[in-house]
Every structure is written in C-alpha cells, then in structure tokens.
Structure 1
Amino acid sequence: MKTVKVKDTAIPALGLGTWRLSGEVCRDIVKAALEEGWTHLDTAAIYQNEAAVGTGLRSASVDRGAIFVTTKVWYDDLDPERMIRACEESLDRLGLDYVDLYLIHWPNPKVPLKESIAGLMELKERGWIRAAGVSNFPSRMAAEAQEHAEGELVANQVEYHPFLSQKEVLEVCRGTGMALTAYSPIARGQVSEAQVIRDIAKKHGRTESQVALRWLIQQEGVVAIPKTSQRRRLAENLGALDFELTEAEMEEISALGSREGRQTNPDWSPTWD
C-alpha cells in the first residue's frame, strides 16, 4: 500500500471510511477489506460503530501492527479531561490499546483550541494514540492548531473530491507539515456523472471512482478514505493504486472544482475557505 509520510507517521494512501456503517455490515466489510489488502480503517465515536470496526479487525487474519486505525473525538468532548475519557471509551469499544491517529472531529468555538490541542498531546504522551490531527478545520484554523501543537499534528481530514476545491487547505497542510485526508472522495457517487471523468476513465479502462481516487492520491500529501458496504467495491477502489493520470488529466479534473461543490455543511460547521 502506498503511504503518505508525515514526520514519523506513515499513513496508507487509501483507507476504508465507515461513516453510516453499523453492526454486522460494518464488521463484515472491515474484515473483508483487511483480508483483501486494505491497511487503513477510519471511524469515529459519533459513528457509533467503533465496536463493530474493532470486531472486524480482530476477526481478520492480519497483524494489528500492520493496520492503521483512525478514530475521532466529537466536538462536545474537546475539554482536555473529557477528551481523555472519550479516548479511553473509544479504545474500549475498539478493543485496542492504542489508535494510530486520533482527530478532533469538528472544531468547537466554545473550547479554546489551545486547550483541545493540549488534550491531544496528553493522549500522545500516554501512548494511547500514536499521532494526532484535526478534521473539518479550514485553513486558518488548521494553521493555528498546528502552531499550538508545535508542529506535531499529522493530518487534517476534510471533504475533498473533484467538485470541491480545497486549494487553501491543501496549501496550509503542505506548508505546516500535515497530510490532507479526503472524505467523500467520490462525491457520494456523483463523479460518475462528470463527462470529463467518464472520458478519462474510458481512456484508461477504469471506473470513474478509480479515476477520482487516483486524482486525489496522486496529489502530494493527500490520502483518500472511500466508504463502501459492498465487497466488490473494495478491489475496485484498490485499483486506484496501480495506474497514473497524466498531468493534463490531473488539470482537467482539478478544473471541475469550486467552493460551491461542498456536500457536508452541518449547522455547527466553521466558516469555510
């Protein structure tokens, strides 16, 4: 598996997203993914599926040390003491001694960012998390978080796909030493409707999803976490690793993006770039 190296952390370039997966469906797709060669799992406390992810991980014939597990703390638990309890509860549900990456899921203006980052650093000091990061942080806030962390954050997970430009966030991530992890990387299936992507897919003998994922992971410092509940999609998505897009094709796909392409924008969202 290709990895994105950030400091001493190697993040697999493709990860299995698990938002809205639950119970046996979640458990079974996690197990299947690991047995088909996936090495990166992404979950969160708010998804209410950490236990299923953990069960799927333990039921697969893989070495825990070879699997990169990411989970996230919800914005109600960003006070350092509450964050420590929340992380302990996540570890209990996952059935793990540590997670490889722990993210602040959404910023919370009611909790000073400096305090939240201090909580992450305490968890790293305890050995409960191997690396720390943030999620859904616009560029200025991501830069501020990295400053408070004295450069220790390794990732900012945000919505990113061909229809949503994240130029500012990507520039800050690269400039401050963070990977950008792209959720909703195939725009909830809408990439198949773009003629540009369809033409490029036909040229390469690939699917539109593979082209969108390749466009993401071919960019410097970008990780993608597509979600699926269908086993046949696991091999398809891994196929994004074994071909390349030309520079012209990369530019054609990039030209589809704008600030209006955002699909995830809940009431508690920060002010986006």
Structure 2
Amino acid sequence: MDYLQTQGLSLPRLGLGTFRMQGDVCRAAVESALGLGYRHIDTAEMYANEEAIGPAIAASGVARKDLHVTTKVWHENLAPDAIRKAFDTSLQKLKLDHVDLYLVHWPSKNMNLPAVFETLMKLKEEGRTRAIGVANFNIALLKTVVEEIKAPIACNQIEYHVMLDQTPVRKYLASKSIPLVAYCPLAQGRAATNEALIAIGRKHNASAAQVALKWLLDQDGVAAIPKASRAESQQANLGALKVKLDDEDRKAIAALPKDQRFVKPAFAPAWD
C-alpha cells in the first residue's frame, strides 16, 4: 500500500468509503476490509454508521497506530459549540479516544470559517484529532482556508473520477502540497460498464473499475475511497494497485467526457 504524507499523517492511498452502509452490513464490511489489509476507513456523522464502525475496529485486532480513521462534521453543525458536540458524539460512537482526520463535510453559506477552524485547531491541539481538513471545498474556499486563515488542512475530499475533470482544484492542492481524496472514484458504479474502460481492462486482465481506480491512484497526491460492502469488491479494489496503465490507456481515458458530476446537493458550493 502506498501512503501520502500530510500534516503528520501517513494516509493510505486506498481506503474504504462507507456512505450508505449501515448497521450489520457496515460492520461486516469494515471487518472484512480490515481483514483484507485495508487501513483507511472513511465515515461521517451524516452516514449514521459510526456506531457500526466502532465495534468493527475493536473486533479487528488491528493496532490503533496502524489504522487511519476519518470522520466529518455535517454542514448544519458548523457553529463552534455544534462542532464540539458533533465531534464528541462521533468519537463516542466510534469508541476511539482520537480520530486521525476530522473534516468539514460540506461548506455552508452562513459559516464563519475562522471560527470553524479555530475550533478544529483546538480539537487538534487537544490530541483528539491528529489532523483536520475539508471536503467539497471549491478553489475560492480553499484559498480562504489556506492563504487567509492559514489552517493546516491535511486534504480536500471531493468527487473525482474518470468522468469528471478536477484539474483546477487538483493543481491548486498540489501547489500547496495538500492531497486530494477522491470519493465516488468509480463514478457511482458507472465506470464498471464503460466500454472504453472495459477495453483497457481486457488488455491488462483487469476490470473496468480497476482501470478507473488505478488511473486516479497513478496521479501524484491523490487518494481514493471507493465504497465496497462485499469482500470480493474490496479485494478487487486492492487488485487495482497492481494494474499498469500505459500512455495509450491514459489517452483513451482522457477522451472520455469529463463533465459528469453525480453528487449535486442543493447546498453545494458553486464549482466554477
């Protein structure tokens, strides 16, 4: 497994996303992933599955120091007191004494960014989260956080896959040595049925999904957190690490439409 170094963290470049997994299904998925060698688990207050993930981590026998756990605060809870309350609840549900990375899940129109990051920094100083970061922040918001507030963010987690160009955000993050963590890295399953990706996969004895995942992981400073509840899918995603794409493959992927954004809540920031 490759790691990205950021703000004192060694972030495994391939993690397990857990959105829309709950209860016993989520617990079994996390136990399975940890058994297969995953060491990066991504969750959020909004996923309502931290209570399932906590026991799965406890049962895994994996040493806490070898595990990376990310969780996030929902955009409705960005007042300082609300952040603290949300954080305490997350930690309690996860049955952990600290998380590795705590993110602002989505920006909100009326948030006070300096106050948000002052609160997050205090949680970091208290040793309750090893690092802080953001998700779904556009370049304008990133500039405020990085250049004005000077917050030491460890990543920006955004939708990124073969069908969505994120070059401007990726270049900005790279210029500041901040990793991009790609969610929906398989375009919500659409990558698996894409004819161009299937053809590339055939050449390498790999699946279309593995091709899509490796395309992301071949990029400097990019990590990915595909959701996978079944052990077979988790194993297949690990198998993507062995795929070797060539220039011809990358050219074919570059020719795919790059304007397919699938996560578009009403409260999302303006992306252009």
Task: Place the TM-score, normalised by the shorter chain, in its bin.
Answer: over 0.9
Stretch deviating more after TM superposition (112-121 or 14-23)? 112-121
1:82-130: CA deviation from partner (whole Å, max 9, x where unpaired): 2112111100010000000100000012112121121211111111100
Greater displacement, 142-151 / 207-216:
142-151
1:151 and 1:176 in contact (8 A); partners too: no
Cα drift, residue 134 of structure 1: 0.2
Structure 1 residues 100, 257: CA separation in 2 closer, same or farther (over 3 Å shift)? farther
Q: Who is 2:201 aligned against? A: 201
Q: Could you tell me which amino acid in structure 2 is paired with residue 266 of structure 1?
A: P
Aligned CA distance change for structure 1 residues 106 and 2 (closer, same or farther; 3 Å): same
**What residue in structure 1 maps to residue 47 of structure 2?**
47
The Cα offsets for residues 41-60 of structure 1, whole Å up to 9 and x where unpaired, read as 00000100001011111111
Look up the match of 1:62: 62
Percentage identity across aligned positions? 40
Unaligned residue ranges in structure 2 (runs of 5+): none
Q: Is the 8 A contact 1:105 1:136 kept in 2?
A: yes
Supply the AA of the counterpart residue of 1:75. H
Q: How does 1:1-273 map to 2 (within 5 A)?
A: 1-150=1-150, 152-258=152-258, 260-273=259-272
Letter in 1 for 2:40: H
Q: Is 1:143–1:176's contact at 8 Å kept on the other side of the alignment?
A: no
Cα distance in 2, alignment partners of residues 255 and 167 from structure 1: 15
Counterpart residue identity of residue 139, structure 1: I
**Offset at 1:19?**
0.3
Q: 1:63 to 1:149 in 2, by over 3 A?
A: farther
Deviations 1:181-226 (A, max 9, x none): 1111001111123222111100000011111110011100001000
Number of corresponding residues: 272
Check whether the contact 2:27–2:53 (CA below 8 A) recurs between aligned residues: yes
In structure 1, the gaps of 5 or more residues are none
Cα distance in 1 between the residues matched to 2:221 and 2:141: 19
Distance 1:20 1:56 in 2: 17
CA distance in 2, matches of 1:217, 1:191: 15
For 1:54 and 1:163, the matched residues in 2 are separated by 34
Deviates more, 1:1-10 or 1:103-112: 1-10
CA distance in 2, matches of 1:110, 1:5: 32
CA distance in 2, matches of 1:148, 1:94: 33
* Secondary structure of 1:191 counterpart: helix
The SS at the match of 2:137 is coil
Give the secondary structure class of the aligned counterpart of 1:130: strand
Flag as ranges the 4+ runs of structure 1 deviating above 6 A: none
Deviations 1:155-198 (A, max 9, x none): 00000010011111101111122110111100111112322211
Partners of 1:86 and 1:144 lie apart in 2 by: 24
Are the equivalent residues in 1 in contact too, given 2:158–2:183 (CA < 8 A)?
yes
Following superposition, the deviation at residue 148 of structure 1 comes to: 4.3
TM-score (norm: length of structure 1) = 0.96
Deviation sequence 1:17-58 (CA, Å, 0-9, x none): 000000000001100100110000000001000010111111
Shift of 1:149: 4.7
